[in-house]
Structure 1
């Protein structure tokens, strides 16, 4: 638990409440708008690795999450506090079913066994002026095209730093910030920020951008991000929904990323190498990539038919923020260090961010499709299901010129949320995936995730 963030948040909250004590007639927005919720998540995770001699992963964990979000104090500048506390219990893994190195599901002890239980917590101070909010602290969960905290395991990933969001201009949302550290989804310690394959880190990820709603059916996006000494990234996006009447619509979603090396990554300094997702790079260890994708979605009643295409440039793989093999101060992990620091991973804003694979190696062209059905249309609200298929071709070999590889994945999922009664809000999620590699060096895998979620709101 990062005590400095909690202490700062509590101190400012106390000051803000004291400032209001002399005027009891004013509404106590800090308290009146507060929200307190306790969430439980039971998560079963199974990954069958088909490579020779591999141990199949089968683990179950229970996580309790207490979230507090205050309102804002009265006055020109409102002050508030957000805080989160997590407690997790490893229920079962079975002998040999908890990979101690590179485990993305649960923290490991130094002997590579699973930690029995974990606890962590953090908080933010938040300020509001008109329609602009600033959040500063260690419980940040960005969901932006150039940075997406992941919640795909038992525990969520969070960041510390500062995030500013402004909606002063109608139909325009502006965002900017600097992030410095992250606590991974299978970690108890925060680390510096990095890229896949690096052994050094950075404590400066800066970004700025915005979303502009031209009208209710068209949104334009632009974001810029820089991870110091690793990469610069520009993103352009377009989302358009065409109503067709009679419960029908056609959606177009275009995404474009242009990424280049920065600082020590471009100079080839030791420890700042990008592994290009285990694939080819024109300039070894450097960031140099253009990736674009398009997705078309036709909705008819409860059915959604999605078809898309994605292209990764030949010069190198798509880059995203990662935690790498680094500590909080950005230095390499010691050989005898706790494995719980080396379990990063973030989501990324592409449709190929699937159950198992990523489909983001140099030269890769991916065709994908998905069918989703909402069973509320046949009298079962809260129930939905999907199936999808992705195939990547033209993946450049890491060392052999003129040799291309392929990979494919098929996934399926079911979600159900109880709509009424004592268990209202209780959710069940099932995900299955099957991945097959055609020479990419990644093992064939089958994965199953079964998740039970429930949230009780005290306030």
Structure 2
């Protein structure tokens, strides 16, 4: 699609270049932009009489994403932007707290929120350095995008693919803008229920570093390692092996093994060994998965707090199954309806159970969770890219509130250029 002169001028002025200097460069030719409208209804029904009976909110969000190409030359420069805006459609008295909206001081939710994140980038060969607003997804840190607006970090990230089969990934983060916030703030260690994790002094850090990568050992086997450190709170070594074994026609067996060793960094008691394994057999449009996860050590799993997605096989819609000494199992089934002529329609269901949770003087902790996702994305025509997803979860345990949860997300992505 032809780019507007306004879009070109904005991109050029952001980099401090005149339009004539970049008119023929890949900076312009490779740029792209889209706007996503995301309508989100969230309902968590707490199955006891005590306390808040439910968390229920409905909101509308908009996400404008712009990515430039790179200027010509040995070192190419570019800029990306993410502008977000969300506003409340419904949030009655006493039903806030879904994570969809920015909370206010009275225990409710603000009418609207949003932000603008800019990212400068430079590329040499197959190495890219980004500085500014970052969305990350690796073994050390995963930005959450499971609510109205995504979680965004501030920092620098270098990804290099100059060596065939090897991806190197280095990062430095100093602030986080959580998915229901308009402001950047210090990061914190997640001290979730039954984690056994305690912090001496302030639970906050303004430095998170990570270094690691993945290497394709063979055509079917990839190995990964990451080191990460949340300043003064925890250090972590994370290992990952993924193997895909082709079987008969349209059949495969995927093995995903994960191990992480977490220790304190001076101001916490973190001490955890986390092992996880997920085996998935796929045949045509069907996938059958079996997962296992075990926690050992003096605490549960360590990761950045609030809304980061931890690199765990049994981290699901409600629970993380990563409490102190917890052992958990997962059975999962997926079906892609494209295999029977209905592209864009997918289904997933899974069941998890965990036990042996160390609750100190209290009885052993137990929990289970059942999830179901149904999603459809229109593939072509007037409503191409219109997506509808229903997410359902049931969580039961003997140490906290039982939950029946539903999320309905309607999204539409419009490419601008």
User: Which residue in 2 is equivalent to 1:458?
Assistant: 416
Which residue of the other structure, out of 218, 230, 233, is the alignment partner of 1:230?
233
Give the aligned length. Answer: 398
SS in 1 for 2:217: strand
- The alignment's C-alpha RMSD in Å is 1.7
Q: Is structure 2 residue 38 aligned with structure 1 residue 41?
A: yes
Q: Which runs of structure 2 are paired with 1:14-413 in the superposition (5 Å)?
A: 14-15=15-16, 17-18=17-18, 21=20, 27-51=24-48, 52-99=50-97, 103-137=98-132, 139-197=133-191, 199-265=202-268, 286-322=269-305, 344-400=306-362, 403-413=363-373
Q: Offset of 1:96 from its aligned partner?
A: 2.1
* CA distance in structure 1 between the partners assigned to 2:141 and 2:180 by the alignment: 18
Kept in 2, the 8 Å contact 1:156–1:184? The answer is: yes
For each residue in 1:349-376, what CA deviation from the matched residue of structure 2 results, as whole angstroms up to 9, or x when unmatched? 1121111111111111101110001111
Q: Label 1:229 to 1:10 Cα distance change in 2 as closer, same or farther (>3 A).
A: farther
User: Which residue in 2 is equivalent to 1:327?
Assistant: none
Q: Offset of 1:315 from its aligned partner?
A: 1.7
Q: Label 1:248 to 1:378 Cα distance change in 2 as closer, same or farther (>3 A).
A: same
* CA distance in structure 2 between the partners assigned to 1:319 and 1:404 by the alignment: 21
* CA distance in structure 2 between the partners assigned to 1:97 and 1:117 by the alignment: 17
For each residue in 1:266-304, what CA deviation from the matched residue of structure 2 results, as whole angstroms up to 9, or x when unmatched? xxxxxxxxxxxxxxxxxxxx1000000111100011100
Q: Label 1:398 to 1:105 Cα distance change in 2 as closer, same or farther (>3 A).
A: farther
TM-score with structure 1 length normalisation? 0.84
Q: Which runs of 5+ in 1 are unaligned?
A: 1-8, 266-285, 323-343
* CA distance in structure 1 between the partners assigned to 2:22 and 2:385 by the alignment: 39
* CA distance in structure 2 between the partners assigned to 1:22 and 1:352 by the alignment: 51
Q: Is structure 2 residue 378 aligned with structure 1 residue 418?
A: yes
TM-score with structure 2 length normalisation? 0.92
* Greater mean deviation of Cα atoms: 152-161 or 346-355: 346-355
Kept in 1, the 8 Å contact 2:291–2:314? The answer is: no
Kept in 1, the 8 Å contact 2:271–2:297? The answer is: no
* CA distance in structure 2 between the partners assigned to 1:399 and 1:71 by the alignment: 59
Task: State the 4+ residue runs in structure 1 displaced beyond 4 angstroms.
Answer: 9-12
For each residue in 1:168-188, what CA deviation from the matched residue of structure 2 results, as whole angstroms up to 9, or x when unmatched? 100000000101100011111
Q: Offset of 1:54 from its aligned partner?
A: 2.1
SS in 2 for 1:30: helix
Kept in 2, the 8 Å contact 1:45–1:60? The answer is: yes
* CA distance in structure 1 between the partners assigned to 2:43 and 2:58 by the alignment: 9
Q: Label 1:165 to 1:84 Cα distance change in 2 as closer, same or farther (>3 A).
A: same
Q: Offset of 1:94 from its aligned partner?
A: 2.1
Q: Offset of 1:36 from its aligned partner?
A: 1.1
Kept in 2, the 8 Å contact 1:242–1:250? The answer is: yes
Q: Offset of 1:22 from its aligned partner?
A: 5.6
